[in-house]
Amino acid sequence: MNTMLSARSLDSLRFDNNFVRQLPADPQPENYRRQVQNACYSRVTPTKVSNPKLVAYSKEVAELLNLSQKECESSTFTELFAGNSLLEDMDPFAMCYGGHQFGSWAGQLGDGRAINLGEIINNQDQRWMLQLKGAGPTPYSRSADGLAVLRSSIREFLCSEAMHHLGIPTSRALSIVTTGELVLRDMFYDGHPKDEPGAVVCRVSPSFTRFGNFEILSARNETDLLKKLIDYTIQTDFPHLGTPSAEVYTAWFKEVCRTTVEMILHWMRVGFVHGVMNTDNMSILGLTIDYGPYGWLEGYDANWTPNTTDAQGKRYSFSNQPHIGQWNLLQLANAIYPVVQQKEPLQEALAMYNDLFQKGWNRMMAEKIGLATFNHNSDDTIIGDLIDILQLVETDMTIFFRKLADISDTDMDTASADPLAPLLDAYYAPDTLPDGYREKMTNWLQSYKMRRAQDNLPQSVRREKMNRVNPKYVLRNYLAQLAIDKAETGDYSMVGELLELLRAPYDEQPENENYAVKRPEWARNRAGCSMLSCSS
């Protein structure tokens, strides 16, 4: 049994646990793998571990939860967020949900290795769910062990916080704790498993409800429960929409479409690729969740996916993310239709998605290249030509747009020694740029110069605007892997260094220039530094 701690040890946590109070539980108390019917969750207790040690915690998330530094660095905190102890007001559970995986219905999935500790209300009356990932098996674990390894836990911890500081809607991460135990994993799914250090991440979000929570109830024709979950979600997470009704249901779906568009536009802005956009990985709040085989574009390649499982089909590639977002919303629309009972408003919302994305894309790309506003008469061509040119030679997306902000009109003068000189740091082979490419980019720079002149913005103002949307620092896979390599020897220093770096991704940080360079050649094909599997 898990030890029960007095609430006085972390007395700033006020639990509300509305989800388990309002929605029906699995009546079976035993924790064994099974199909769970007519329930939204199963109560389950985290598995105790032998020797938990705190790797890192996010001070910003701690502040959200009204936790002090002293509390976060206490042994009580480590025991609690390793799953070894529970506060007396916690009511841990695992959610039941289904999902479409790689386009096919997968049936019941659920929290196979995530255990929600409960919902707290902070001093600002905000609701936050605390969830442990890697805290042991649940009824939804199928054939898996419910555990997580250090490498994937570090990647999730760092990326959750990096995305927040980039201004991207995301779940957060409070802490990462090693367990002192080994976990067997086949990282490449090639029949060569090995033992890896185990770890537990504490995720934090207003809600972890996914598209798949609604899909499973609809697929099972549990319509009364589906309505109850929809009503609960609106009342809890969308109270501004009013009392649930036919009209409010469609307003709710439109809002989910809108927030999903906004999230994906942010992904596209910074070159982030989620890697596994299954419907069970889509937040009803439009938050980025479930950081598995993600990555940032190194060389700009619209068809790149970081997921080895998706290497052939490229369903979840960078350029396909907007389409998949709409496809996933279509599955959600199908799932809630038995309650909504109106086809046209759902179709209108899905059509609205296209319009919102296109307008958002135009606005976002205009901001990335420093234009005051998007001009349909000229900017479709300017932006489209740039996207095409970026893919002709291997060009680092993050560095390219950051360097573009530094280019003055004089730099773009064809009479200068080399108009491309300010951009050379972005190219993986700057000394061998083909003449044809040089000509195309030089011509584009001239068109860009003429278009910029229409805005009459001072260079310093344009540069500042561009640098607010084009980050200098992102969590490149090779950086995460270097931190993992150290951590697996017991040295957690680089986890802390990257966490600190990524708190200010748009700032220059002169002392950290070594983190703002292209992926080194040694990392091009190394495991964990480019593509990744779903193994964690």
> Do 268 and 361 form a contact (C-beta atoms < 8 A)?
yes
According to DSSP, the β-strands at 127-133 and 194-205 are: antiparallel
Q: What is residue 119's three-state secondary structure?
A: strand
Q: Which of 181-190, 300-309, 381-390 has the lowest average pLDDT?
A: 181-190
| Percent residues over pLDDT 90 in the chain | 91
Band (pLDDT 50/70/90 cuts) for residue 8 is: very low
What is the token pair recorded at 173?
């991460």
Query: If 0-12 CB within 10 Å is exposed, 13-18 middle and 19+ buried, where does residue 171 land?
Result: buried
Q: What is residue 273's three-state secondary structure?
A: strand
Cα-Cα-Cα-Cα dihedral sign, residues 222, 225, 227, 233: negative
Q: What is residue 523's three-state secondary structure?
A: helix
Query: Does the pLDDT of residue 3 top 90, yes or no?
Result: no
pLDDT for the residue numbered 352? 98
- List Cα–Cα distances, 311 to 136, 320, 328, 383, 391, in angstroms: 30, 13, 20, 28, 18
Band (pLDDT 50/70/90 cuts) for residue 61 is: very high
Query: Does the pLDDT of residue 493 top 50, yes or no?
Result: yes
CB atoms within 10 A of CB 234: 21
Entry pTM = 0.96
Just list the catalytic residues: 280
pLDDT for the residue numbered 6? 47
CA 295, CA 474: separation in Å to the nearest integer? 10
User: Per residue in 272-308, pLDDT tens?
Assistant: 999 999 999 999 999 999 999 999 999 999 999 999 9
